[in-house]
Structure 1
Amino acid sequence: MNTVTVFGSCNMDLVAYVPVAPRSGETVHGRAFRTVPGGKGANQAIAAAKAGATTRFVGSVGTDGFGEQIRDTLAGTGVDTAGLRTVEGNSGTAHIVVDDEGANSIVVVAGANASTDRIDGEAEGLIASSSCLLMQLETPLEGVEAAAEAAAAHGVRVVLTPAPAEPLPESLLSKVDLLVPNEHEAAVLTGQEDPELAVEALLHSVEEVVITLGERGVLYGNRTGKRLRVPAFPVRAVDTTAAGDTFVGALGAALAGEESVERALREGSAAAALSIGREGASSSMPSAAEIREFLENDAN
């Protein structure tokens, strides 16, 4: 059953491209502007669907035009939106500045995402019939915990991206099978700046950990003592906005398809590499065929 359910946030990304990001109090000229549906939850759902998994999304949009665009984009990429509620008010937005080095800074306004603080019977049914549940922390923690509890009750693998980083209760971590922080988030959770020490610390709370290290690749560890390092694929960065979400979505799709951890990490890394070579968030994510071709070319 190659099925992924994503519980989380969806935003409209308002993206300005600039040669150099402005400092505090500074105004700069931009070279382009785009509106692209995003949010960590929607990004992971689109990445998983493009990577070949049957994908459902559980979240909330507002009654504004952005909400309609977000829903249409998810559906247009093959994501089942039966679990996407519409609530009165504005949809979530992310205000993003991307410089010519591909680096970005982001301000997120929760909007309708703030109402994703629980699950109903329909959402629980979607989670229960999945191979894998992907979650993040751009929605209220109460909802994340409820979704994790439902997944645990039905034997569904729980993958959590702890972003934005914040201390997490053991009641949540005890239900997480795989934690996927970046190195900054891992340091916030553990107090350890060294990723290898952070992995060891996190394995006291969860069964498996993947720490993403940007251009240094990813570091994996589990409680049985297995450790893996997968180097990043060398590509020219154009826009890194959704690289982490692309990695997690493709990773989740591979794990739901019962790929080995090694293969899943490579597929996630390949998807992330392809995405940062393109502008945009969800629009930059590769298809399953593109991921396979990329890995085949790398092997030759």
Structure 2
Amino acid sequence: MNTIAVLGSANMDLVVRQARLPLPGETIFGAGFSTVPGGKGLNQAVAAARLGADVTFLGAVGADAYGAELRTLLTTEGIRSTELATADAPTGTAHISVVDSGENSIVVVSGANASVTTLSVEQRAVVADAAFLVMQCELPTRALAEGIAVARAAGVFTVLTPAPVVPLPAGFLASVDLVIPNQIEAAELTGESDPIRAAETLSAGQTWAIVTLGAEGSVVAYDGEALGLAPARPVTAVDTTAAGDTFVGALMAHLAVNFVRGTALTPDDMIEAVRFATVASSVSVTRTGATSSMPTRAEVDAILAQSLRHG
């Protein structure tokens, strides 16, 4: 099976459920509190592994209780983490407010993640041996650029979720094989409010782009041309935390199982992977939490099989 190397953040999510966001200077009561393993990198790694992929995680955690808990989770999920560094800084945290509508707001404190400014010899070897390198923007850009350089030299397919949107070096996005922003991120990166135009702009130069639109589905584009709008699966959302990360992890799991390294992805390959990822993401928003909400491959396959039976 093709290996996915995830170079990304690992956080402990501190989640408060509440009726609404407080006004500036206002104190309100919350309805509940929980700690859930998270971070965009760890989320995507867990989603991919739970959906059947062979995953190695690269990043850093602190020498603290949260770091130990995240390492245990990775082991439990079958994700290799032998090259996960231990930093002097505390493990990263994300402070998440989830309101009754299911929407959320998040403040991230990078902690150990900010220490990942370069890759070790061993981490570079992991990247070079993988079929896919999956990244986000919660690690320093310098480390991401190094990962891309190693991957490109080895013929590894590179994937970036440009979240949060941060200043990127010239040519950075063009050096990535697949970019997966949400609609807001795509608009910020391109200046295009129309997600189709944004996807076309991001995909220029033989790059794949998938712009996710939440309940509206996603736009798929390649080499400056939109291939179409992939519809969402209608569900009642209770918590959208990590829905995008579930989408990315599921997409990569599908490609890892079906993609032959060294061959070009076709539009049909990508659209089929997007369909699989859409179902996985739709399941995640019906549950609370980040990693705790992610489905298994059996769950997604059952939903896809049922949809085929019903046309």
Normalising to structure 1: TM-score of the pair? 0.97
* 2:204 alignment partner, SS class: coil
Partner Cα distance (1:9, 1:224) in 2: 30
Tell me which residue corresponds to 1:119: 119
Tell me which residue corresponds to 1:181: 181
Matching of residues 1-300 of structure 1 within 5 Å: 1-204=1-204, 207-223=207-223, 225=225, 227-258=227-258, 260-299=269-308, 300=310
For the 8 Å contact 2:196–2:226, the answer to whether it is kept is no
Deviation readout 1:144-177 (Å, 9 max, x if unpaired): 1001111111101001000001342234223200
Aligned Cα root-mean-square deviation (Å):
1.3
Partner Cα distance (1:126, 1:89) in 2: 24
* CA displacement at 1:125 relative to structure 2: 1.4
* CA displacement at 1:89 relative to structure 2: 2.5
Partner Cα distance (2:92, 2:254) in 1: 29
> Which amino acid in the other structure matches residue 238 of structure 1?
V
> CA separation of 1:97/1:254 partners in 2, compared to 1, >3 Å: closer, same or farther?
same
Partner Cα distance (1:214, 1:225) in 2: 21
Task: Report % sequence identity.
Answer: 46
For the 8 Å contact 1:6–1:55, the answer to whether it is kept is yes
For the 8 Å contact 1:114–1:139, the answer to whether it is kept is yes
For the 8 Å contact 1:21–1:99, the answer to whether it is kept is yes
Q: Which moved more, 1:75-84 or 1:9-18?
A: 75-84
Partner Cα distance (2:206, 2:8) in 1: 20
Partner Cα distance (1:62, 1:127) in 2: 22
* 1:170 alignment partner, SS class: coil
Partner Cα distance (1:200, 1:32) in 2: 42
* CA displacement at 1:109 relative to structure 2: 0.2
* CA displacement at 1:210 relative to structure 2: 0.2
> Which amino acid in the other structure matches residue 151 of structure 1?
A
> CA separation of 1:151/1:99 partners in 2, compared to 1, >3 Å: closer, same or farther?
same
Tell me which residue corresponds to 2:265: none
* 2:130 alignment partner, SS class: coil
* CA displacement at 1:199 relative to structure 2: 1.5
For the 8 Å contact 2:51–2:253, the answer to whether it is kept is yes
In structure 2, list runs of 5 or more residues that go unmatched: 260-268
Normalising to structure 2: TM-score of the pair? 0.93
For the 8 Å contact 1:64–1:89, the answer to whether it is kept is no
> CA separation of 1:83/1:176 partners in 2, compared to 1, >3 Å: closer, same or farther?
same
Tell me which residue corresponds to 2:266: none
* CA displacement at 1:282 relative to structure 2: 0.5
* 1:60 alignment partner, SS class: strand
Q: Name segments (4+ residues, structure 1) moved above 3 Å.
A: none
Q: Which moved more, 1:99-108 or 1:198-207?
A: 198-207
Deviation readout 1:182-222 (Å, 9 max, x if unpaired): 01111111100001111221123561100000100010010
Partner Cα distance (2:200, 2:232) in 1: 22
For the 8 Å contact 2:10–2:60, the answer to whether it is kept is yes
Partner Cα distance (2:204, 2:162) in 1: 16
For the 8 Å contact 1:13–1:39, the answer to whether it is kept is yes
Q: How many residues align?
A: 300
* 1:102 alignment partner, SS class: coil
Partner Cα distance (2:97, 2:29) in 1: 12
